[in-house]
Amino acid sequence: SEEKSLHFIEQIIEDSIATGFPQNKLRFRFPPEPNGYLHIGHAKSICLNFGLGLKYNAPVNLRFDDTNPAKEEQEYVDAIKEDLQWLGFKWAEERYASDYFQQLYDWAVDMIKKGKAYVDSQSSEEMAAQKGTPSQAGTNSPYRNRSIEENLALFEGMKKGDFKEGTHVLRAKIDMASSNMLMRDPLMYRILHRHHHRTANDWCIYPMYDFAHGESDYIEQISHSICTLEFVMHRELYDWFLDQIYDESTVRPHQYEFARLNLNYTVMSKRKLLQLVQDKVVNGWDDPRMPTISGLRRRGYTAAAIRKFCETIGVAKRENIINISLLDFCLREDLNKTAARVMAVLDPVKLTISNYPDGEVEWLDAENNQEDESAGFRKVPFSKTIWIEREDFLEEASAKFFRLTIGKEVRLKNAYLIKGESVIKDENGQIIEIIASYDADSKSGSGTEASKRKVSGTLHWVSAEHAIETEVRLYDRLFLDEAPDSHTEKSFLDFINPNSLQITKGYVEPSLKEVQPGDQFQFQRLGYFIVDKDTTASKIVFNKTVGLKDSWDE
Ligand code: ATP
Ligand code: MG
Ligand code: MG
């Protein structure tokens, strides 16, 4: 990694160390709001912050930014922790912005005492009308010059629950003519008579993000507070709030912004993901079609592949859109090394080998992973009647059809050469059985001349009497549009792919009898599959993770 060039945040850190910032005071945080599950965009921020922690041997806090009781829940806190651990990262401390409510309140009182904050008793519409425009100064609130005593009394009343929602807010007293609209006396507190998932009914005023975030960074002595580019304009306010409390003997946090991850064929805002869940477009936050970490995990994306993806896209200051196929590329690279190869038939047609002895069963050797010698071999049963893939047979085929046809030889993987002889059809002309013959001398690995004979194709198969019947869930992209949430006339919900989930029956080899949820395999010639959590003692359920080749550009 020494050879890799530094990204701009690493460069900033190197520069500050070079100019005297003590490396042992570096401290980072990942600050999710527990209002939804983590998604692949969060993974970029996680890999960035925890990556810096590892690189500089510095602590990284997990801080729940839980200042909005209307949207936050314990379920989300638990899911976020599980996903972070699964991604392979360890936080130094688990913190909650809500733990700082008293400190934040005390600081707000100090600001009132210094004439830096005031209680405004206008409606939100009135305040909005006074905001002005970027080219035109705003108008001061008629409450802007309330006395300190009156402000203190009202703010205390707000805290005690004397007032209804929307009747008063606390505002920072900055500059209604600032060229930065966010500096025009921003809100610090609003009244919300809501139950909070951690502080219950202790509070009925809640701090706004801009006030809470920087001050929370200060409490935790975060040196580098990294966020996405939408917050560039907030930095001036972040610094202003810190100016009110900063003590020279402490670390002063700084905010740095990087480009968020955008992926095509995906929506990533938690609000939209929540809508997909609530509208039952998908089956929960961990539906394998969701871009959430839990959805990706259930689909079979590995933590290593997600980390590799984040490393590959890098950290920069310019927004771009990443092709989802890059994530699949990283995934295939990982699974190719780790997933055991097995045989499964998903669209079966029966094949009977006419000259194979009735009732005979041979247990043949099959290599588990040619990419990994240590993975070893297993036994697969072979018998007179097998299942093959319907699309692997054509009665009449051109010379370019490298699979089974009448009169042509192909190899059955790990087994024998067979030749198509005839077919049996039902009354609709659909093939219900293929009759083939085999060359008894051609067993794979037997060393005979026949075993080495070159044929045009190799097919996967399973022995019909030994195969396990399973449910297989095949997924396609959830959205038919590359940028489903970019349309002004239409909602992202208008671009849902009605065929994003197809459920089918598949036959798998008996070595899979004891699989557990989360086990991953390559079904030879078909793709990568993972055992789903819906698996029961009587039924194995597989999710298709990804095909063997990139089919996105087809
Ligand atoms: P959303 O808009 O999806 O609700 P958010 O930014 O409001 O996302 P938070 O829980 O506040 O969600 O995010 C926690 C951290 O993850 C923040 O530092 C945020 O900048 C970062 N983050 C969120 N989405 C992305 C993304 N697409 N790419 C990179 N970082 C992201
Ligand atoms: Mg946020
Ligand atoms: Mg959000």
Q: Ligand 2 centre and the CA of 96: distance in Å?
A: 14
34 is an annotated ligand-binding site residue: yes
- DSSP letter string over 136-153? B-----TTTT--HHHHHH
User: Is 32's C-beta closer than 6 angstroms to any atom of ligand 1?
Assistant: yes
**Any idea which fold 8-258 has?**
Rossmann fold (3.40.50)
Question: What's the gap in Å between 209 CA and the centre of ligand 1?
Answer: 13
- Given the residues 95, 146, 190, 270, the one annotated as active site: 270
**Catalytic site residue 33?**
yes
Q: Are 548 and 527 in contact (CB under 8 A)?
A: yes
CB 42 less than 6 A from any atom of ligand 1: yes
DSSP state of 39: B
Q: What is the DSSP letter of 196?
A: B
DSSP β-ladder status, 520-523 and 340-342: parallel
The ligand whose atoms approach the alpha carbon of 231 most closely is: 1
pLDDT, position 553: 39
465, 362 Cβ separation under 8 angstroms: no
Q: Tell me whether the CATH fold assigned to 8-258 matches the one assigned to 270-340+470-546.
A: no
- Expressed in angstroms and rounded, the spacing between residue 235 Cα and the centre of ligand 2 is 14
* Nearest of 126, 150, 151 to residue 139 by alpha carbon: 126
Tokens linked to 154 = 């009202």
Cβ distance 162 to 208 under 8 Å? no
Of 10, 33, 73, 421, which residue is the catalytic one? 33
CA-to-CA distance for 541 and 310, rounded, in angstroms?
30
Of the residues 45, 256, 263, which should be mutated to test ligand 1's pocket, given the most ligand atoms within 8 Å of the CB?
Answer: 45
Within 8 A by CB and 6+ apart from 334, the residues are: 302, 304, 305, 308
Say whether pTM exceeds 0.90: yes
Segment 169-201, tens digit of pLDDT: 999 999 999 999 999 999 999 999 999 999 999
Burial of 480 (0-12, 13-18, 19+ CB in 10 A): middle
What's the pLDDT at 3? Answer: 62
274 lines ligand 1 (CB under 6 A): no
Helices and strands in the chain: count of H runs, count of E runs: 13, 25
Q: Is 63 a catalytic residue?
A: no
**Residues 399-416: pLDDT tens digits?**
899 999 999 999 999 999
Give CATH for domain 346-460.
2.40.240.10
Could you tell me which of 356, 344, 348, 367 has the C-alpha nearest to residue 417? 356
Between β-strands 385-389 and 377-382, what pairing exists: parallel, antiparallel or unpaired? unpaired
Catalytic, 270? Answer: yes
Q: Is 38 in the pocket of ligand 1 (CB under 6 A)?
A: no
Q: What is the pLDDT of residue 549?
A: 87
Percent helix, strand, coil in the chain, to 5, is: 30, 25, 45
Sequence-separated (6 or more) residues with CB below 8 Å from residue 485: 267, 269, 272, 492
Residue 497 to residue 276: CA distance in whole angstroms: 13
Cα–ligand 3 centroid distance for 230 (angstroms) = 11
CA of 375 to the centre of ligand 2 (A): 44
Q: By C-alpha distance, which of 545, 388, 381, 389 is closest to 472?
A: 545
Read off the tokens for 400. Answer: 């370019």
Helices (H), 29-121: 40-55, 74-87, 101-113
Query: Does any ligand 1 atom lie closer than 6 A to the CB of residue 291?
Result: no
Instruction: State the Cα–Cα distance between residues 235 and 365, nearest whole angstrom.
Output: 64
Atom of ligand 1 nearest to the CA of 32: 10
Structure confidence at residue 72 (pLDDT): 86
Atom in ligand 1 nearest the alpha carbon of residue 46: 16
Residue 148 neighbours by CB under 8 Å, 6+ apart: 112, 113, 115
- DSSP string computed for 336-358: HHHPEEE-EESSEEEEEETTSPT
Domain layout of the chain by residue ranges = 8-258, 270-340+470-546, 346-460
| pLDDT score recorded for residue 481 | 97
Q: Which long-range contacts (CB under 8 A, 24 or more apart) does 157-164 make?
A: 158/119, 158/189, 158/191, 158/204, 158/205, 159/105, 159/203, 159/204, 159/205, 161/193, 161/204, 163/191, 164/191, 164/193
Residue numbers of the chain with a pLDDT score lower than 50: 1, 552-554
16 is known to lie in a ligand binding site = no
Residue whose CA is at the smallest distance from ligand 1 atom 1: 269
The CATH number of the structural domain formed by 270-340+470-546 is: 2.40.240.10
DSSP-based three-state secondary structure for 483: coil
From 38, 76, 228, the mutation candidate for ligand 1 (largest count of ligand atoms within 8 A of CB) is 228
